[in-house]
Amino acid sequence: MAKRSEQVKDVRFRADASGCLSRPAFEGAVTAALKREPLATLVHLDLDDLLVLNEKAGREAGDRAINASIATLSKTAAKEGWTLGRIGGDEFALLAPGTSLEPVFLRAEQLRKELDAALEKAIPHGQKCTVSMGVANTPRDTKSRGPAAGDELMRKADLALLAAKEQGGDAVGLTPSDDMVLKSSYYSAAQLGRLKGLAERQKKKEAALLREALDDLLRKHERS
C-alpha cells in the first residue's frame, strides 16, 4: 500500500512527454529556483473561450487547441531556458529564473502572437481561440523574498492574468497596481484624455489601442 502511494505521488510530480511539469512539480521548481536566485519572473496563461470552442466545434477541437499550445510553449521554454508547467486543464505557467520583468513581458507579447497563430491553424476554420497572459516578478511584485515568495508570485501572476481577461482577453497583463502605475506615471493627463476620446470614437478599449501602439513600436524597431 505504501509502495502504491509512492507511485501515485511520483506520477503527480513527473513531467509529461512534452516536458510540461504537473502543478506540484512546477511549484517545487519555483521554490528551488528562488533558493538559488531571488530574482524570477512568472508567466501565467490560459486559453480564451475554450468552453465556447468545445461547444461549437466539439471536444476534439479543444484538444487540438491545447496540444498546439503545449507544442509552442515547449519550444519557447526550451529556447529561453524557462520552466514550463501545466497547472490546470488549459492553464499553463512559465518560470524565467534570474530574469527581470521587462524582457519577459516583451517576450510574452511575442509569444501571445505565436500562440494565436498556432491556434488558428489547429482549430476549424471560422472558430476562434486566443490566449491571455499575466506576468509577475519577484522581488518587484512580492513582499516575501527568496523561496517564501513562490506562492505569492503565482498569486500575483494569476491577478495579472485576470487583468488581461478584463481587458477583453488576447492580451498580456500586469498586476493591477502595475497597470495603474503605467497609466498614471508614463502618460500625461492630456494624453489620457485623448486616448479616452479615441477609444470612444473607435468603440475599442483603451488597453487594445495601447497594445496596437506597442505593436507598431516593436515592428518599427525590429526592422531597424
Whole-angstrom distance, CA of residue 161 vs CA of residue 172: 7
Residue spans of the domains in the chain: they are: 15-175, 187-224
Q: Which residues are CB-contacts of 174 (< 8 A; sequence separation ≥ 6)?
A: 101, 105, 134, 135, 136, 160, 163, 182
Q: Is 90 in contact with 47 (CB distance < 8 Å)?
A: yes
- Which CATH code fits 15-175? 3.30.70.270
Helix (H) or strand (E) holding 104: helix 101-122
Whole-angstrom distance, CA of residue 72 vs CA of residue 196: 35
pLDDT value of residue 200 = 80
Q: Which residues are CB-contacts of 90 (< 8 A; sequence separation ≥ 6)?
A: 46, 47, 50, 62, 65, 66, 69
CA atoms within 13 A on the CB side of 79: 8
DSSP notation for 200-223: HHHT--HHHHHHHHHHHHHHHHHH
What's at 104, amino acid-wise? V
Indicate the SS3 state at residue 224: coil
pLDDT value of residue 177 = 57
pLDDT value of residue 180 = 46
Indicate the SS3 state at residue 83: strand
pLDDT value of residue 179 = 45
In tens digits, what is the pLDDT along the chain, a chain of 224 residues?
Answer: 444 434 334 434 445 556 799 999 999 999 999 999 999 999 999 999 888 888 888 999 989 999 999 999 999 999 999 999 999 989 999 999 999 999 999 999 999 999 999 999 988 888 889 999 999 999 999 998 988 999 999 999 999 998 899 888 999 999 875 444 455 445 666 777 788 788 888 877 776 777 788 888 888 887 76
